[in-house]
Amino acid sequence: MVTSAWPGVPEGCSRYLPVVSSAAVDAGTTHRWHLLDNAALIPDDVTPAGTLLCVHGNPTWGYLWRSLLEAAARRTASDGGPWRVIAVDQLDMGFSARIGARRLADRVTDLGDLTDALGLTGPVVTVGHDWGGSISLGWAVDHPDLLAGVVLTNTAVHQPAGESIPWPLRLALHPAIHRPGTVSTTAFLDITLGLARPALDPAVRRAYRTPYRHARRRGGVGQFVADIPVDASTPSLPELDRIAEGVRCLDVPALMLWGPEDPIFSDRYLRDLIDRLPHADVHRFEDAGHLVTEDAPVAATLLGWLGERLPADRADTDQLRGSRLTLADRDHRPLWATLDDRAADTTTAVVDMAGPGSEPLRLGWDELAARVDRLRRGLTAVGVRPGHRISLLVPPGIDLTCLIYAGLRLGAVIVVADAGLGARGLSRAVRGAGPDWVIGIERALIAARVFGWPGRRIAVRGLDRITRRVLDVDHTLAEVLAHGDAAPVGAQHEPRADDPAAILFTSGSTGPAKGVAYTHRQLSAMCRAVSTTYGLAPGTALVAAFAPFALLGPALGATSVSPAMDVTAPATLTATALADAAAAVDATAVFASPAALVNVLATADALDASQCEALGRIDLLLSAGAPIGEPLLAAVSALVPRARLHTPYGMTEALPVTDIDLPGIRAAAADAAAASGSAGAVAGAGNGVCVGAPVPGAHVAISAFDADGSAVGDPSGAPAVSGEILVAAPHVKDHYDRLYRTEAAAFDRGWHRTGDVGHLDAAGRLWVEGRLQHVLRTSGGPVTPVDAEQRMATVDGVARTALVGVGPDGSQVAVAVVETDPGARTDGPAPRGVTEALRSVVPDLDLAAVLQVRRLPTDIRHNSKVDRSALAAWATGVLAGKRVSAP
């Protein structure tokens, strides 16, 4: 066969092999197998680290794995050495012999016959897709002596009882469709290839179709479909059940790479595989589908995983991965301990400003502890078990607080993703987390029904009979509480410190939201970091206008209240809502985002004397969610004159990391001005936003840029060196949930790579200069955006600014995009006066263009972070002369 007709397959990798069958259906018969084998690409004097045994499904062939052939052979010793890749064409498929009907058990036996004929001695890592996943796992179960690992992509080994197989397969099995669709025509093949996202290159599509040009060569395609285990009468079901149960005994490293947009092997099959291989690494490639190997960087991820999980010297890797433990918080106190301690305390614990009627709803510590315990017992009674995932789609308030602590107390894993992610982002988050239970308000349960989210459902409020049936609701919160009242008190499960506790989703401001997994120990450390840094203790009364802190209030022993606002849109917080919440608990502390504070200032004229008095009693205000400068804090200080104004830096993955107050910001600006010789510098000026020194227990380092703008330097605390910000602390997240590739990139020798860029100054303070993906890669070297944006924001008539790069990496030019005050009526080139003024304050940048937009796009959750990536794409179109709408 001329391999040059197959794009991506190196010359010399195609071969045939005669194999004697031991399958019961044709024992002793010799069959001609075709396979892609990269052995010829590996130098003769080099011994491969092992073999990747790659098994395709239906209706593909070994070509599916072509991206592994050369990449695996060219791995160097530092990567763990080359791996031999054997990508088989199963009998009746690809270019292997056409021999007639084969069942699943036959195919597992066939694969064993082939590996015997090849003389494989191990270590072997099986790699499977579609039906090839089940067959490769059958081989793995039967060859434990050779097996070193398993890799699975969009496959299944079990069909849940009571659930029908996916509709595309039901359709393909219909008597009127089966043979015409799978054998007589290329319909099944064409539909499968059409699932690629984006569409396959025509040459690649032709290569996939080549072995199946004639009906006489498509018999195996039809037979594979006919062998699908539909019910107990299917001949191959016992073999599939054998494999499914055998998988539970595999104790080798495992990797699952998944395309969640697959209409055939949906996330429900991924969840089943995770249940059978709970130690597996998992990565869901958002937007990828059934042909995940075509849609996503599967080869690079798989080979990187081999280097980490199957290295030549495992001890070195174990030590490297264990370096995180050097910062573990050994003094663990679970979040619910304060509730146990104050179970007899009748003073106010939480206040819900959105309670029924005009008066806020209040719970004392004793009532809070009792309600949490009732919920714990009730959730247990309806079937929630330790380790179950509970997606909480409930607004901040008493219900959410009680559900969080009840879930944590019984050992469940709480999943928190708010509606601020948008419908699509929220759906991605919930589907990705794969909850066992969804507890939500009616709007959330409607979304669960419409988008097909997994999990049994509990409604926070009562529903009429018809709505309840339509939304497939199992229980209401009132019913759960009633079950709790009826359940015996008895002994209860005690979650361990290192058990999984929570999955908190990021804002999604720089890509799809990521699930950040925490253990109980890490949540405890987060609580301690907040308490130690800000002196929060029992007796504090806080207004939690920033959702993450609603989780920590009861654990801190603080009386907490969430103001009346849409917490998914921080800019909806008004000054009167903030003041009313502060008055309700006689607040001493406020947590709010920058966007919330901007709107508080804008609506301050509506405050009456009593509301101003309530704000005047606040002695601590924290603004978190995005780094902010001195002007905003200075304006807020007039509203809360007694308060210490702090702006912690952190992220969903670690909060807080550093902290600074208003005097500290001014001192840092003065130091920066003195260092630059510009004594008249604006307060807050400097190369970035100063976010202060690390909080107790946290460590910060910088991975320096190279000339191309890549952060490749070793972690360093050297001052005035820009690069990616790395953090380490006991309260850094455990891992990204089902995002192995993302976690592998973010974890670096015990450090968490934040994706933010900045530098440390001589006093050890951190200055944030932007995000890694927003660094301009110019011919003169990397340029971070925040410094220039700060300088441009001082120009009269400019409300907000963004600096973006246009052009190819290494030769990008700088483009300024501004939002003016008053706002512009059109999007496009800025007026000459604005352009000249901006160029005068950033003469070092040589701006290629200045553009204006009516409103700079921000993330939908914080309303604070400008979407520079969207602006860069828009600016590129504008400068190319295209008519494109501003983001």
192-201 pLDDT tens trace? 999 999 999 9
For 707-733, what is the mean pLDDT? 94
Residue 863 — very low, low, confident or very high, per pLDDT cuts 50/70/90? very low
Q: Tell me what pLDDT residue 320 has.
A: 36
- N- to C-terminal Cα separation, the chain: 50
Lowest mean pLDDT among 427-441, 519-533, 784-798: 784-798
Q: Tell me what pLDDT residue 507 has.
A: 79
pLDDT of residue 169 exceeding 70: yes
Q: Tell me what pLDDT residue 165 has.
A: 79
Task: Name the residue type at position 566.
Answer: D
Higher pLDDT, 178 or 474: 474
What are the backbone angles phi and psi of residue 253, rounded to the nearest 5°? Answer: -55, 145
Tell me how far the alpha carbon of residue 231 is from its chain's centroid.
36
Q: Are 155 and 280 in contact (CB under 8 A)?
A: no
Q: Tell me what pLDDT residue 313 has.
A: 45
Kindly state the percentage of the chain with pLDDT values over 90: 70
Task: Single out the residue of 86, 146, 145 nearest to residue 118, CA to CA.
Answer: 86
Over residues 32-62, the pLDDT tens digits come to 999 999 999 999 999 999 999 999 999 999 9
Which residues, listed in sequence order, are joined to residue 814 by a DSSP beta bridge? 805
Evaluate the CA torsion angle 573, 577, 581, 587 in order and state its sign. positive
For 140-147, what is the mean pLDDT? 97
Per the listing, tokens 């994706």 go with 755
Which whole-number Å values give the CA distances from 268 to 387, 445, 451, in the listed order? 17, 19, 14
pLDDT of residue 164 exceeding 90: no
Over residues 735-768, the pLDDT tens digits come to 999 999 999 999 998 999 999 999 999 999 999 9
632: tokens are 């905003």
Q: Tell me what pLDDT residue 551 has.
A: 75
Higher pLDDT, 681 or 676: 676
Higher pLDDT, 221 or 857: 221
The two beta strands, 541-544 and 589-592, are parallel
Over residues 62-78, the pLDDT tens digits come to 999 999 999 999 998 88
Q: Are 401 and 369 in contact (CB under 8 A)?
A: no
Task: Name the residue type at position 10.
Answer: P
Indicate the pTM of the whole model: 0.91
Task: Name the residue type at position 361.
Answer: L
Cis bond upstream, residue 82 (ω within 30): no
Residue 2 — very low, low, confident or very high, per pLDDT cuts 50/70/90? very low
Torsion of CA 92, 94, 96, 97, to 10 degrees: 40
Q: Are 576 and 607 in contact (CB under 8 A)?
A: yes
Higher pLDDT, 510 or 140: 140
What are the backbone angles phi and psi of residue 92, rounded to the nearest 5°? Answer: 75, 5
pLDDT of residue 321 exceeding 50: no
Task: Single out the residue of 369, 156, 344, 120 nearest to residue 247, CA to CA.
Answer: 156
Q: Tell me what pLDDT residue 806 has.
A: 93
Q: Tell me what pLDDT residue 509 has.
A: 67
Which whole-number Å values give the CA distances from 450 to 437, 443, 444, in the listed order? 16, 11, 10
Task: Name the residue type at position 110.
Answer: D
Kindly state the percentage of the chain with pLDDT values over 70: 94
Q: Annotate 788-798 with b (16+ C-beta within 10 A) or e (fewer).
A: bbbbbbebeeb
For 152-181, what is the mean pLDDT? 84
Q: Tell me what pLDDT residue 868 has.
A: 87
Q: Are 63 and 118 in contact (CB under 8 A)?
A: no
Lowest mean pLDDT among 284-298, 343-357, 706-720: 343-357
For 67-93, what is the mean pLDDT? 95
Q: Tell me what pLDDT residue 682 has.
A: 37
Tell me how far the alpha carbon of residue 471 is from its chain's centroid.
27
Could you give the CA distance from residue 111 to residue 90 in angstroms, rounded to a whole number?
8
pLDDT of residue 862 exceeding 50: no
Residue 580 — very low, low, confident or very high, per pLDDT cuts 50/70/90? very high
Which whole-number Å values give the CA distances from 258 to 133, 154, 737, in the listed order? 12, 5, 13
Higher pLDDT, 758 or 595: 758
Q: Tell me what pLDDT residue 314 has.
A: 43
Q: Which of the listed ranges 86-90, 744-748, 847-851 does the model predict with the highest average pLDDT?
A: 86-90
Q: Identify how many contiguous H helices and E strands the chain contains and give both numbers.
A: 31, 37
Residue 866 — very low, low, confident or very high, per pLDDT cuts 50/70/90? confident
Long-range contacts of 309-318 (CB under 8 A, 24+ apart): 309/149, 309/253, 309/255, 309/281, 310/49, 310/50, 310/80, 310/123, 310/125, 310/148, 310/149, 310/253, 311/80, 312/49, 312/77, 312/80, 312/81
pLDDT of residue 316 exceeding 50: no
Q: 520-534 and 548-556 are packed helices; what angle lies between their axes, rounded to 10 degrees? A: 80
Task: Name the residue type at position 384.
Answer: V
What are the backbone angles phi and psi of residue 884, rounded to the nearest 5°? Answer: -125, 145
Q: Over the chain, what is the mean pLDDT?
A: 90
Over residues 516-530, the pLDDT tens digits come to 999 999 999 999 999
For 434-451, what is the mean pLDDT? 95
Q: Tell me what pLDDT residue 537 has.
A: 87
Over residues 216-250, the pLDDT tens digits come to 999 999 999 989 887 778 899 999 999 999 999 99
Q: How many CB atoms lie within 10 A of CB 309?
A: 20
Q: How many CB atoms lie within 10 A of CB 855?
A: 13
Q: Domains in the chain and their CATH numbers?
A: 3-163+236-312 (3.40.50.1820), 167-226 (no CATH), 776-879 (3.30.300.30)
pLDDT of residue 544 exceeding 60: yes
Could you give the CA distance from residue 753 to residue 740 in angstroms, rounded to a whole number?
14
Q: Annotate 628-647 with b (16+ C-beta within 10 A) or e (fewer).
A: bbbebbeebeebbeebbbbb
Q: Which of the listed ranges 684-688, 732-736, 839-843 does the model predict with the highest average pLDDT?
A: 732-736
What's the Rg (C-alpha) of the chain? 30
Could you give the CA distance from residue 819 to residue 832 in angstroms, rounded to a whole number?
15
